Amino acid sequence: MEANRRNFLRQSLSSASGIAFAGMFPFDLFGHELHSTARPEVIVLPPKKRSPPKESIRFSVIGLNHGHIYGMVGALLGGGGTLVAVYAKEPDLLQAFTKRYPDVKVAKSEAEILEDTSIQLVASAGIPVERAPLGIKVMKSGKDYLADKPGIVTLKQLKEVKKVQKETKRIYSIMYSERLGNPASVKAGELIQAGAIGKVVQTIGLGPHRMRPQSRPEWFFDPALAGGILCDIGSHQCDQFLYYTNSRQAKVNFSQIANFNNPQYPKLADFGDMSVRSDHATGYIRIDWFTPEGLATWGDGRTFILGTDGYIEMRKYIDITGRSGGNHLFLVNQKETKYFDCSNVHAPYGENLVSDVVHRTETAMPQDHCFLATELALIAQKKAVSVNG
């Protein structure tokens, strides 16, 4: 009994000294620092009082084949635009649009809008392959153009669009909404420009999407019409890489696509990834059509931005760890760890674009940037290796 008691005391003292030792040297067995229990500082950004837009334009819409048109129109209206007219070939799409905007004039043809000299800009979310040809006609008619992404689906189209844009000096803008329309993305840009994470050296963009085949039009499954997964969703990520790394030139390192789970649509790629680089930064992009039905939104879009003095993570549309809503941003740098609720951050793209139309400036998005983001996505799509052979 006495021996057992001595052994128990010896083990207890050994354990206590071990705990004390661990407190003095907070490392695990592999030499890594033990995790801190400190929680990040929580910052809920309040809405800022904003003056009404200083400028105004008259704009119209041609092509309603993707629901993104509503976000595009909303941005233009919020930026000082007045919606004048709409034209679409599909009666059901037209009915839904006029229900949302009952005061809009229904044009009888594209020509009716293109020939109206009072209209300064045309917006389109038509079938992707038709967006660039329409944009060329819009620019030649003396108007500026806003396309849904992908705004161009082949390198041949890009060459012609760039030629006409240079000749006409009109604006050809593509709404990469995962940055331009997302409050957390706007806040990330502000933090980077303020030097919060030092020099940005890499971005990782994850763009998962949900695909319900029964709700998709036939053109969606044909890359000749829709552009393909890297051209389409990938253009969002290329835009973000260029913007956050402040890169004005870039190349594609590799790209690959696959149809892993949709053999009934043999032309479709449901997965794609690619790598890009500039002379001072790299980027990795992964996109897919595999968002499960159990997720409460269409996709858990995430962006990671690595700087020399810190990093940013965005969960743009949902936080599966429990925070409600979207627009979540996490910042870690040499001084602190913070969480930002960015729901009230203003996205200035629409107002800036309206101002650009009036003043012939490039505050919403430089024209070269717009084209380069698309060019990277198009090259990646064209050169992609098929994983399926």
Percent of the chain with pLDDT over 70: 90
Per-residue pLDDT band at 40 (split at 50, 70, 90) = confident
Average pLDDT over residues 316-327: 95
| Tens digit of each residue's pLDDT (9 = 90 or more) over 120-159 | 999 999 999 999 999 999 999 999 999 999 999 999 999 9
Class of domain 57-175: alpha beta
In one letter, which amino acid is 235?
S
pLDDT of residue 21: 43
CATH superfamily entry for domain 179-348+380-386: Dihydrodipicolinate Reductase; domain 2 (3.30.360.10)
Q: What single-letter DSSP state applies at residue 67?
A: T
**236 neighbors 365 (Cβ within 8 angstroms):** no
**150 neighbors 175 (Cβ within 8 angstroms):** no
Comparing 27 with 188, which gets the higher pLDDT? 188
- Poorest-confidence range of 36-40, 65-69, 124-128, 239-243? 36-40
Average pLDDT over residues 30-48: 77
Per-residue pLDDT band at 210 (split at 50, 70, 90) = very high
User: Phi first, then psi: what are they for 83, rounded to 5°?
Assistant: -80, 125
Distance CA 299, CA 295 (A): 8
Query: In CATH terms, are 57-175 and 179-348+380-386 the same topology?
Result: no
Q: What is the mean pLDDT of the chain?
A: 93
Neighbouring CB atoms inside 10 A of 383's CB total 13
Cα 231 to chain centroid distance, Å, stands at: 13
389 pLDDT exceeds 80? no
| Tens digit of each residue's pLDDT (9 = 90 or more) over 88-115 | 999 999 999 999 999 999 999 999 999 9
Average pLDDT over residues 195-208: 98
Distance CA 94, CA 80 (A): 23
Could you tell me the residue ranges of all domains in the chain? 57-175, 179-348+380-386
